[in-house]
Amino acid sequence: MTIGEALKKERKDLGLTQAEMAAGVITTAHYSKIERDKHDISAYDLFEILTKNNINLVDFIKEIEDTYQSTPENQINLNLRLIHAFYQSDQKSVRILNKEIQESAATKEEKLRAILIEANVTHTIDQIPGKLRKEIKRILFENDDWVDDKLTLRLFCNSMLIFSHNELNFYINEIIDKYSAHFDQEDFHHQKLIASICVNFLYVNCINNNLDFDSRIFSLLDQLPEMPEFFFYKVLRNYYKAVAGKDTTKCQSIKSFLAKNGLPHFSDTLPK
């Protein structure tokens, strides 16, 4: 079964229209072409659609894996499984999938992202060779418009732990300067990417014991629309605000909420 066929089957089972299935992730026109196998879909967009509609990721992968086992499109399957393993904090699966991605026809950015995801999950960021760190930074910032590019923003989001405190603050300031005045008017994808960067930045600061957070980060997150797709970011915004205020009771309450609602492994990774 193709990705398009599997999505259509899941949508029909849920009784949703194409617009409802794709809402907040991609346009209905784009989604329609994906169902008809006329357009490709990124692993990140596919993951968001499945998560938003409460479709079991493991079952979905089983539906499509025979079709893509030996084809270039298997890259989507690999990336999807890697994202799932990351959120499960499944170190063994992440290692295996990273190895497969490095040996596949994935793009350089996808391979670097997979390396960073493994390093994050296995807590081995400090073991990333200097040459590779320089390559990541070169790809990120060889383009003066990196703050507009989705690929470089996503790579930056995954690579924050390789930067020094001063470097990270410098690049975060570029993002804040770019988006703070009109963040609520940005397209959905940029809002999600910038929100991810903001919460990752707060996470990195926490584990480095830098709790004097820039209030502009919270201001950006406060501009997110009142949509279910942004609920996760709003919860994390409140968590890090509680960390900054040393409100341990609220922190524990939020961690318990996440654990009880399907994210126990993720909850355990949050800094105290």
Q: How confident is the model at residue 67 (pLDDT cuts 50, 70, 90)?
A: low
Can you give the pLDDT at residue 148? 85
Can you give the pLDDT at residue 111? 87
Q: Please compute the mean of the pLDDT values over residues 148-177 and round it to a whole number.
A: 89
Q: Is the pLDDT of residue 166 over 60?
A: yes
pTM over 0.75: no
Q: Which residues of 61-93 are buried (b: 16+ CB within 10 A; e: fewer)?
A: bebbeebbeeeeebbbbbbbbbbbbbbbbbeeb
Q: Please compute the mean of the pLDDT values over residues 157-184 and round it to a whole number.
A: 91
Percent of the chain predicted with pLDDT > 70:
96
Can you give the pLDDT at residue 73? 52
Pairwise CA distance, residues 171 & 163, whole Å: 10
Pairwise CA distance, residues 202 & 198, whole Å: 6
41: which 2 tokens? Answer: 């879909």
Using H for helix, E for strand and C for coil, what is the string for the chain?
CCHHHHHHHHHHHHCCCHHHHHCCCCCHHHHHHHHCCCCCCCHHHHHHHHHHCCCCHHHHHHHHHHHHCCCCCHHHHHHHHHHHHHHCCCHHHHHHHHHHHHCCCCCHHHHHHHHHHHHHHCCCHHHCCHHHHHHHHHHHHCCCCHHHCHHHHHHHHHCHHHCCHHHHHHHHHHHHHHHCCCHHHCCHHHHHHHHHHHHHHHHHHHHCCCCCCCHHHHHHHHCCCCCHHHHHHHHHHHHHHHHHCCCHHHHHHHHHHHHHCCCHHHHHHCCC
How high does pLDDT run on average in the chain? 87
Per residue in 100-155, pLDDT (tens digit) is 989 887 778 788 889 999 998 998 988 999 999 998 888 887 877 888 887 788 88
222: which 2 tokens? Answer: 């406060």
